């Protein structure tokens, strides 16, 4: 390579450096902002997680303190005074309060609180179904078989969170209505469902046997 070519290469390289540093001075702030946004976003996410964790722990502490009270009415009043920050938290507190009210004999208030949770669109579906299920159990003496059946059927739809538990209640309604074979068929289906818990399968089996049926066979119950 000649001296001239070497000189030209050096000049070209110098021009490139000048352009790079000029661009860096002109647009370097963009990179700085991007870094600041990334770091700031990560910090905010960590802060939010810490705040959510602290709120959940505080809520848990308040719930624990309320449930440690001996009297059901006192528990209910303590739970009623808790202010949860999220819809999920409010639903949990409301259902616990309803449980305490029911134990204290105030089933009307308990039912109303549960139904309020069941119809709250901000509450996750599983909590709404649990609240609806519990409200129904409190109305066994006040609703007709047909009314309860209609509501349990809504909860027993395939894919619903409490479908199997609702089906169990429908089987018990079949028994109450004198339709023993329908109850056995429904309970047999529950006992053979892969999604059923061990406890639920055991309950279904016990009722089938008590009704004079069997797990496997399609039979006619005794009596």
> For the segment 68-122, what is each residue's pLDDT rounded down to a tens digit?
888 999 999 998 998 888 888 899 889 999 999 999 999 999 999 999 999 999 9
> Looking at residue 222, what is its pLDDT?
47
> Looking at residue 223, what is its pLDDT?
45
| Dihedrals phi, psi of 110, to nearest 5 degrees | -60, -45
> Looking at residue 62, what is its pLDDT?
87
Q: 116: which 2 tokens?
A: 């309020």
Average pLDDT for the chain? 82
pLDDT per residue as tens digits for the range 161-191 = 999 999 999 999 999 999 999 999 999 999 9
> Looking at residue 133, what is its pLDDT?
94
Please give the DSSP secondary-structure letter assigned to residue 14: H
Single pTM value for the model:
0.70
> In the chain, count of helices (H) and strands (E)?
9, 0
Q: In the predicted model, what is the mean pLDDT of residues 203-213?
A: 92
Please give the DSSP secondary-structure letter assigned to residue 193: -
| Cβ(153)–Cβ(162) below 8 Å | no
State the Cα–Cα distance between residues 217 and 192, nearest whole angstrom. Answer: 12
> Looking at residue 59, what is its pLDDT?
81
């Amino acid at each position: 390579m000649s001296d001239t070519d070497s000189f030209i290469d050096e000049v070209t390289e110098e021009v490139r450096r000048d352009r790079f540093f000029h661009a860096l001075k002109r647009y370097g702030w963009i990179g700085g902002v991007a870094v600041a946004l990334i770091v700031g976003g990560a910090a905010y996410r960590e802060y939010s997680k810490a705040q959510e964790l602290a709120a959940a722990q505080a809520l848990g502490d308040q719930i624990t303190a309320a449930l440690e009270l001996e009297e059901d009415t006192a528990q209910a009043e303590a739970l009623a005074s808790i202010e949860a920050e999220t819809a999920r938290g409010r639903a949990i507190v409301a259902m616990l309060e309803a449980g305490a009210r029911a134990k204290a004999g105030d089933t009307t208030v308990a039912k109303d609180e549960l139904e309020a949770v069941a119809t709250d669109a901000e509450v996750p579906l599983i909590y709404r179904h649990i609240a609806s299920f519990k409200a129904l159990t409190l109305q066994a003496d006040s609703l007709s078989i047909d009314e309860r059946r209609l509501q349990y059927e809504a909860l027993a739809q395939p894919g619903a969170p409490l479908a199997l538990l609702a089906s169990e209640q429908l089987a018990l309604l079949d028994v109450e209505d004198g339709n023993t074979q329908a109850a056995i068929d429904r309970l047999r289906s529950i006992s053979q469902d892969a999604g059923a818990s061990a406890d639920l399968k055991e309950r279904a089996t016990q009722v089938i046997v008590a009704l004079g049926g069997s797990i496997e066979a399609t039979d006619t119950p005794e009596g």
